[in-house]
Amino acid sequence: MTAAAVECTGLVHRFGETVAVDHLDLRIQAGEVFGLLGPNGAGKTTTIRVLNTLLPVQEGSVRVFGLDVGRRATDVRRHLGYVPQQLSIEAALTGRQNVTWFARLFDVPRGERADRVDEVLDAMDLLAVADRRAGSYSGGMIRRLELAQALVNRPALLVLDEPTVGLDPIARAGVWERVRQMRTDYGMTVLLTTHYMEEADELCDTVALMHHGRLQTVGSPAELRAGIGPDATLEDVFRRYAGAGFDDHGTEGVRNVRRSRTTARKLG
């Protein structure tokens, strides 16, 4: 059996009376690209927020590279790179300042810091504009800058929460091309959520589908498609497990949709 980057066992998370994550068992192998899919309110963001230490582990166990998330939160954070759904850069600072700040937060040694910052900016094709204010960047550039921030500490686990929402197809392709390249270069594990099924199909080694806080199915995109029928797409798999009707369950629906819309609006 190969090594696990993330192991969730019996994870339950409640917001008051509502169960957002319901006895979730999940295993993400080290080095793979793992897609967590599901409709709004399925519990994806709650799951990500528990394993990246933003929410407490209420019930069950979550381990990231063998570290207990509940007890060793600071140590877990040293291994993470995180890109949230919102455009989360300091617009008043330059691109270089935005990345340097994160290099310092992750204790990148002073002697290596400038080179490391230049390296990730270069990898994201932002070196030429590094000294411009980030507020003047386009949507795709901002996303790449966020990736540079998340990658500057060479994380073992990169967590991407709908990183391409609102981006045009060229910018989306640019983001994924760079994620793939960094994964090849550094062998990191990538956990992502997305609503673009074709993206998940192309990028992910493994896909898990959540609905109503529960894990519905997990497997490689090819396995999941084959389970539905010979010409099935991942979207068919999504419809099978998440249903085609309107969802009136979940705790994060309004918040998530609002966040996605805000991000999409800012990206134009």
Partner 1 sequence: MSVAVARPRASWAEPVRLLAARTGTLGIVEMQKLRSDYTELFTRMVQPVLWLLVFGQIFSRIRAIPTGDLSYLAYLTPGILAQSALFVSIFYGIQIIWERDAGILTKVMVTPTPRAAIVMAKAFAAGLRGLAPVVVLVPVALLLGVGITLNPLKLIAAAIALMLSAGFFSCLSMAIGGVAQTRDRLMGIGQLMTMPLFFASNALYPIEIMPTWLQVISQVNPLTYLVNALRGLLVGAPANLWTDFAVLVGAAVLGIIGAASLMGKLVR
Residue with tokens 């966040």: 259
**Could you tell me if 121 and 147 are in contact, meaning their C-beta atoms sit under 8 angstroms apart?**
no
Which residue, 84 or 221, has its beta carbon nearer to partner 1? 84
Number of residues that bind partner 1 (CB under 8 A): 45
Q: How far is CA 198 from CA 36, 86, 205, 263, in A?
A: 14, 22, 13, 21
Binding mask 203-222 for partner 1 (x = CB under 8 A): --------------------
What burial class does residue 240 get, using C-beta atoms within 10 Å of its C-beta: 0-12 exposed, 13-18 middle, 19+ buried?
Answer: middle
Quote the least distance from Cβ 227 to partner 1, whole Å.
27
| Distances 148 to 161, 162, 221, 251 between C-alpha atoms, Å | 15, 16, 28, 31
Q: Which is nearer to partner 1, 75 or 235 (CB)?
A: 75
Asked if 102 interacts with partner 1 (CB under 8 A), we say yes
30 counts as binding partner 1 under rule CB under 8 A: yes
The answer to whether residue 69 forms part of the interface with partner 1 (CB under 8 A) is no
The alpha carbon torsion through 69, 72, 77, 83 (nearest 10 deg) reads 20
Q: Residue holding tokens 């929460």? A: 161
CB-nearer residue toward partner 1: 56 or 227: 56
Binding site for partner 1 (CB under 8 A): 1-5, 7, 30, 49, 52-55, 63, 65-67, 72, 74-75, 77-80, 82-90, 92-93, 97, 101-102, 104-107, 133, 149, 156, 159
